[in-house]
Structure 1
Amino acid sequence: MVKTALLSFFAFLLSGALGIASAQNAPDPNTPDGLIKMIVADVMASVKADPEIQKGNIPRVVDLVEKKIVPYTDMRRTTQLAMGRNWSKATPEQQNQLIAEFKSLLIRTYSGALSQLRDQTVQYKPFRANPSDTDVIVRTVVIGKSDPIPLDYRLEKTNDGWKVYDINIMGAWLIEAYRNQFTNQISQNGVEGLIKFLQERNAMLAGKK
């Protein structure tokens, strides 16, 4: 389920610009829904301009994600929430290691979605939020050859603007899915055991590329 969510997330970013092309006004990156649409348009333009990415060149895809998507995410918050109560058990150094390894795992997991892209488009649900809200959800539906896939994005307003920190695919939030896995690893092997687990997973995924 987690991998499906990540693959769908990346597919959305790469194909969703089709839904933006018909918009009369450029999206406002200072609003949550406008930021999502802006990211989509920017990523899609980059993909169209890079034949190597279109061929599935993973290092190029990873570089694209690092430059075009990661700056608009809050990986510290994502990692902290995935850790739950166990976050306070980690030292500052361990927390930084966990953030780096978790980010690498997510990037390596959904970078492979490029080869699975077909003719997906995206429908944006009406965005409803109060001006004072600092935590919101942007709801979308990915339309393809199979059944429509509900895909939502949770964003938080920070001092550096809106940041994505969680996604929901068909009712399952990414953070909740990883929290169970992280909790099991820590209960068996401690925080260092979780770091080692993530390092091993990233090494395995890197070996497959």
Structure 2
Amino acid sequence: MKSRLLCSAALLAVASVPVSAQPQGYGPSVGSGYPARAPLPYAGMPGPGGANSPAASAEMAAVAALKEGMDKLLAFLEQGEAPNNLQVAAFLDREIAPYFDFDYMAQWVAGRAYEGMQPEEKKALAAQLESDFLSTLARNLLGLQGQQIRILRPRRGPRGSVNVNVAVMQAGGQPTRLEFRMSDSDDGWKVYDVVANGQSAASYYRVEFQRTARQQLGYVPR
């Protein structure tokens, strides 16, 4: 019963807080507590071994997946006539959503409580995260028109993940930096978190989930 109350309350919290509203300083340290998709595959890996090393191959695959999605996004924005809101939403749902792993994100947001959630609750949480992410992206999408995007050197993250930094070049100003945290799945490399201005979206949602759990139950499941 407590698990059901927690899940329902958390879903309400996630539904009510947009990513763009993230306050400064929210979220735990980078990478802490992320669930393992699989055991560390490179624990015994030696130092950098060139382009043919397992780490380099993983980084190249992650960058290729992100670049593919970015190319689709930029091509959509550069078409002759500016798309309307419905066209933007349909494009993001059809072409961009598959590059994200919202199920994995939901697992980390819920933490240990995820184990006690019913399948339909897990699905609902992932769906709400997807809806909010895509809605936020749609609101900010037109701001990318005419901007140059540069994919920077990737780096290894925790548990075999890859972090890909992207610089959005702005005329007459400092570039905006985004970090896409990616992990390997059965369907290839996917984004499970986005960091903007040093703030992790998934970490923020997790804080909201835990805050709601404390309000509803008086504690957070460990």
Q: Same fold (TM over 0.5)?
A: yes
Q: Is the 8 A contact 2:19 2:136 kept in 1?
A: no
Unaligned residue ranges in structure 2 (runs of 5+):
1-17, 23-59, 218-222
CA distance in 2, matches of 1:67, 1:116: 20
Output the amino acid matched with 1:103: E
Q: Any residues of structure 2 matched to 1:61-76 within 5 Å, and which?
A: 61-76=88-103
2:110 alignment counterpart: 83
Output the amino acid matched with 1:35: A
Q: Any residues of structure 2 matched to 1:1-209 within 5 Å, and which?
A: 2-3=19-20, 31-49=61-79, 51=81, 54-55=82-83, 57-128=84-155, 134-145=160-171, 146-189=173-216
Normalising by structure 1, what TM-score?
Answer: 0.67
CA distance in 1, matches of 2:184, 2:163: 11
Distance apart, 1:50 and its partner CA: 6.6
| Alpha-carbon displacement from aligned partner over 1:101-158 (angstroms, at most 9, x marks no partner) | 22111111221113433542222222355xxx84111112222144322211111111
Q: Is the 8 A contact 2:77 2:142 kept in 1?
A: no
What is the DSSP-based 3-state SS (H/G/I as helix, E as strand, rest coil) of the residue aligned with 1:157?
strand
1:196 alignment counterpart: none
CA distance in 2, matches of 1:102, 1:127: 25
TM-align CA RMSD: 2.7
Output the amino acid matched with 2:153: P
Q: Which has the larger radius of gyration?
A: 2
Distance apart, 1:175 and its partner CA: 0.8
Normalising by structure 2, what TM-score?
Answer: 0.64
Unaligned residue ranges in structure 1 (runs of 5+):
6-29, 191-209
Q: Is the 8 A contact 1:138 1:153 kept in 2?
A: yes
Identity of aligned residues (%): 25
CA distance in 2, matches of 1:115, 1:128: 29
Which protein, 1 or 2, shows the higher relative CO under an 8 Å CA cutoff with sep ≥ 6?
2
Report which of the two has the higher share of helix: 1
Output the amino acid matched with 2:166: T
What is the DSSP-based 3-state SS (H/G/I as helix, E as strand, rest coil) of the residue aligned with 1:104?
helix
CA distance in 1, matches of 2:107, 2:190: 15
CA distance in 1, matches of 2:80, 2:111: 39
Distance apart, 1:32 and its partner CA: 0.8
Structure 1 pair 50–118 and aligned structure 2 pair: CA distance change class (3 A)? closer
- The size of the alignment, in residue pairs, is 162
